[in-house]
Every structure is written in structure tokens, then in C-alpha cells.
Structure 1
């Protein structure tokens, strides 16, 4: 009888372990909102203009008085952040990008990354134009012709890629936080590749004609 009980307990343990093994993290990734948030951050913190590189992203304006009664329950950006859901679109599509951009702009490491990238921008663009570097399908800067780079340029590229990784990580963390998803390694591993691919797509759209870009299949082409 005791042996039989032990066998049943062992079988039950194996079943529970197997069940746990197949549990996967399911995190909603708002691709369009992430892309728009990257664009907003680039516009505010990276591109030359009258605004300071450390300027905060403004909150979305409230709807006009005559439209308040017809507004959807999730149309206000900050009023409904506590009610975000985990796997489904939890706030109005028009405000997802604003929420992500605001969340990322509150991260000191992301602001520093943008400040550093803005300082490197003129030289990085020169390297793209010369063909010395290209833009990977993960949004990173890849050396293509070392003869067109100085030792200082190689260090510059390394630092630039670290800043870009910080921005992508910030996006992944913002998505998890606004989705009330625990910032676990599994969740980050699921979101990071999508955040990087979306970042790359945004940057490649901004690339100038003649710059080298890497397609999703790994092939390099000139824009």
C-alpha cells in the first residue's frame, strides 16, 4: 500500500513538473504604439530643434468639453493607467504611444541614452553616408568597412549600440509596466526581440538614400 502511494505521489509530481514546463508568458505587444512612441522620443530627444534633449514628453491633451460625454472610457491618458489589462489592448490606441513615451521619458537611463546619442548623431550619420557602417535589423550600428573608420569611430559605434540597447530595454520595461506584467526574465525575453525589431523598423524608415540597411532575413541592401 505504501509503495502504491509513493508511486502515485511520484507520478503526480512528474505531472505537475510537466505542466509547469509548458506554461509560457503571454505578453501583449502594441507594435504600432511602440513604433509611434519611438518616433515621438526621437523627435523630442534626438533630432536637432529648439527643445532641450532632456525635455519631458508632454501628456496627451484632454478632449474638448463638447466631446467629453462621447469619449470612450479609456480615452484619457493618465486617468486610466491603473486599469491597464495584461494581454489585451488596455487603453485607447491613440493613447498607447503617449503612455509608452511618457513612461520611457521617466527612466533616467533612457534620457541619458538619448542625450549621448544626440551628441554622437552628426558623426554617426557621416559614417552611414560613407558606407562605413550599416543599420542592422535589430536597430544597431554594424561596421561594414573598417577602412572608413578611425579607432575613435569604432569606440563611438560601441557606445552608440549600448545606448540603443538601453532604449530598446526601456521600451520592453515600459510595455510590461503599463500592462501590469511582472518584469521577469521570461517576459523580457519575449518582449525584447519585438521591441528591437520595431526600433530597427523605425530607424530604417528614417535612413537616408544610399545607407546600408539589413532586412529581416539578414540580407544587406542600400536604401
Structure 2
């Protein structure tokens, strides 16, 4: 009787340990593709998209032919490196395009970008004045160097802007899991979201204008 009881207790203990075990989530995060997808969405949905027109050739003259740039013959003997680089770039472009298409099909993402576009003029003015900066998660916050406090309207604007940015980051995490055919568990979503936020912040820092305040991943604030 005692042996049976001991075996039963041991079985229950093993079951409890198994139930409490930490499940390791292993999801590949395509950093370069995610960054390119963020940039594509910003170009398509956030900015005006207006670009200076290419000047037309003078009447009677053919379009100017592109100039041939001198090329080194160093790589002529190493074609395999070029092929590998092209293949890697093609894979990255395909992944970025798939992510951008997936994100742009989400109603919540389109709504977030529509709202961010409306806030963009005022937000850029706050960035230019040094009143706000880009945090290491890609959010808009008041940097330590800012003098004075934001007005009530601007505080509401920042809260709404950050909510939209969080929606984009969360949607990126969901898109990555979906395209990799991974289960959208809480653990997997949190893991991918953390990396998606860091990549989003990198994208926003690269797009920042000179003089804007930015927080680096080591928590240090700098001006671009």
C-alpha cells in the first residue's frame, strides 16, 4: 500500500513538473525583410508619395543613355559571391513584399496609418522643436532634454500615435507568425513582438530628420 501511494505521488509530481515546464519558442525573425516592409508601408501609406518628376528630354533628342561606370575586374574571377548575394537579396525582397502585402490587407493596419497620416504634420513639428523623440521601441515620448511640458492636446496626440504604432508592431508579429505557419501563441507573439519593436525603432531612427532626438538600444539619448 505504501509503495503504491509513493508511486502515485511520484507520478503526480512528474505530471506537475511537466505542466509547469517552460516551453521554448523558436521562431525565425526576418529582420531585414521586416525593416523593408515597414519602409514600404511608410512610403505607401504614411507619406504623400509625391516624387520629383524625371525631366523630359529636349524635343528631337533621344533620352540620355546611362553612363557606364568603371567596374573592377576583381570580382570577375569570383562570380559565386555575386550569385549568392543576388539570391539572398531576392529572398529578402520576396519576404519583405509578402510581409507588406499581408500587413496592408489588415483593416487595423490601414486604420492606424490613416490616423498617423493625419497626425503627421503636428508630430513632425514636435520632433523638430525637440519636444518629443523616438524611444528605443519606436514610440513617441518626451526626451530628458525637453524643456517644459506638452499641452493637453499634444499629450492626447502622443497617446493616440503610440497606440497606432503598437498596432503596426503587433500586426507585424502576427504577419510573421502567419507566413511562417506558426501557431499564434502568447509566448510566440511576445517573442516576435519584442524583435518587431526593435526593428520598428531602427526604421524610425533611420527615417528621422537631422536634429530629432532618438533613444538608442543602450538607453542613451542622442540627436541625429
- TM-score of the pair, normalised by structure 1: 0.77
CA–CA distance in structure 2, aligned partners of residues 13 and 128 of structure 1: 59
Aligned equivalent of 1:221:
222
Aligned equivalent of 2:10:
11
Aligned equivalent of 2:26:
26
Q: Tell me which stretches of 4 or more aligned residues in structure 1 moved more than 6 Å.
A: none
Aligned equivalent of 1:48:
48
Residue aligned with 1:209, SS: coil
RMSD: 2.2
Tell me the CA shift for residue 18 of structure 1.
2.6
Deviation track 1:8-59 (CA, whole Å, cap 9, x = no partner) reads 23323323433441321111111111111101111110011259xxxxxxxx
1:147 partnered with 2:148: yes
Deviation track 1:165-222 (CA, whole Å, cap 9, x = no partner) reads 0000000110111111111111111111101000000000011111100010111111
1:196 partnered with 2:185: no
CA–CA distance in structure 1, aligned partners of residues 91 and 17 of structure 2: 38
Aligned pair count reads: 185
1:208 partnered with 2:213: no
Residue aligned with 2:209, SS: coil
Tell me the CA shift for residue 146 of structure 1.
6.3
Whether the aligned pair in 2 keeps the contact of 1:127 and 1:133 (CA below 8 Å) is yes
Stretches of structure 1 lacking an aligned partner (at least 5 in a row): 52-74, 76-90
1:165 partnered with 2:166: yes
Stretches of structure 2 lacking an aligned partner (at least 5 in a row): 52-86
- TM-score of the pair, normalised by structure 2: 0.76
CA–CA distance in structure 2, aligned partners of residues 10 and 36 of structure 1: 55
Select the structure of larger CA radius of gyration.
Answer: 2
